[in-house]
Homo-oligomer: A and B are copies of this chain.
Amino acid sequence: MAEVKFTSEISVEEIQHIGDDSVIVAAARVSTKGWSAVPSDESYGLIKYLMTHRHGTPFEHGSLTVRVHAPIKVWREWHRHRIEWSFNEQSGRYSQLEPLFYLPSRDRPMMKVDEWKPGRPKFLVCKDDLIYRVLCDNLKRSYSLAYEEYQKNLELGIDPGLARDCLPVGIYSACYCTANPRSIMAFLSLRTHESEAKFPSYPLWEIEIAARKLETVFTQHWPLTYKAFNECGRVAP
């Protein structure tokens, strides 16, 4: 039987990108300059103006593809982003999923602190080592049995798309994700928490880990756009 592995890592790795702040500027300038608008220079003033007034379309003329490794529960949320997001994910029907499962790191805020409050959940870091250990043991025990039963099902010759029904949402899956700067900003605004954001969001911890890594890639290629995004309260244009 394959050895079950556990990790807290969520990986986001760039595959390719095109377009930069100068292309966004050029696309915006078509509005007034017509055919003669070509990418040449950057203009933070114009980018900030577009962002402030929510003229979003110029931010669509670029593309970033990343390869991401994350638990299924993260994909369950990420794949809900329909607009200008493209996905190709690992299949549980066509291949055997690897025994890699998610465990929270020690600093993952996880203790409920207030009454059930839909939409704005708040959690504290667990101060009690025992609780953390028990949680991890519970997860490991369940993960391990699930993978064991999964393998048994496969050995029976069962359709992998059925044999996997016992696999948990904590199992890892890989996905190619492609989006443009505008759709990336929409994702970041919803999947990161910033108290100073105009519309603060309360994302799932694990998708925020992925979003922060995507944000790091994004800021490298579109630094002015990213700066304006932050100065405008992280509202996607």
Seen from chain A, the residues whose Cβ lies within 8 Å of a Cβ on chain B are 11, 15-19, 23, 26-28, 30-35, 37-39, 49, 53-55, 57-58, 60-63, 65, 67, 69, 71-73, 75-76, 79-80, 82-95, 97-98, 102, 104, 108-112, 116, 118-121, 123, 131, 134-135, 138-139, 141-143, 145-146, 149-150, 152-153, 156-159, 161-170, 172-176, 178, 180, 190, 199, 204-205
The chain B residue with its CB closest to the CB of A139 is B166
Distance between A131 CB and nearest chain B CB, rounded to angstroms: 5
> Contacts of A26 on B, CB cut-off 8 Å?
15, 176
A60, B139: Cα distance in complex, Å: 36
A114, B193: Cα distance in complex, Å: 41
- How many copies of this chain does one complex carry? 4
Known interface pairs A98-B34, A166-B138; A119-B53 also in contact (CB < 8 Å):
yes
* Beta-carbon contact of B39 and A90 below 8 Å: no
* Beta-carbon contact of B112 and A157 below 8 Å: yes
For A93, A95, A112, A164, the residue with the greatest tally of chain B CB atoms inside 10 Å of its CB is: A93
Known interface pairs A57-B86, A94-B119, A142-B166; A16-B18 also in contact (CB < 8 Å):
yes
Known interface pairs A30-B90, A112-B158; A178-B176 also in contact (CB < 8 Å):
no
Distance between A33 CB and nearest chain B CB, rounded to angstroms: 7
* Beta-carbon contact of A180 and B89 below 8 Å: no
> Contacts of A143 on B, CB cut-off 8 Å?
166
* Beta-carbon contact of B23 and A16 below 8 Å: yes
* Beta-carbon contact of B159 and A169 below 8 Å: no
> Contacts of A23 on B, CB cut-off 8 Å?
15-16, 65
The chain B residue with its CB closest to the CB of A198 is B198
**With A62-B63, A91-B118, A131-B158 already in contact, 18 other A-B pairs whose C-beta atoms are closer than 8 Å:** A30-B174, A30-B176, A31-B88, A31-B94, A31-B95, A37-B176, A55-B119, A60-B178, A61-B178, A73-B92, A73-B164, A93-B121, A93-B204, A111-B159, A139-B165, A141-B145, A142-B149, A161-B205
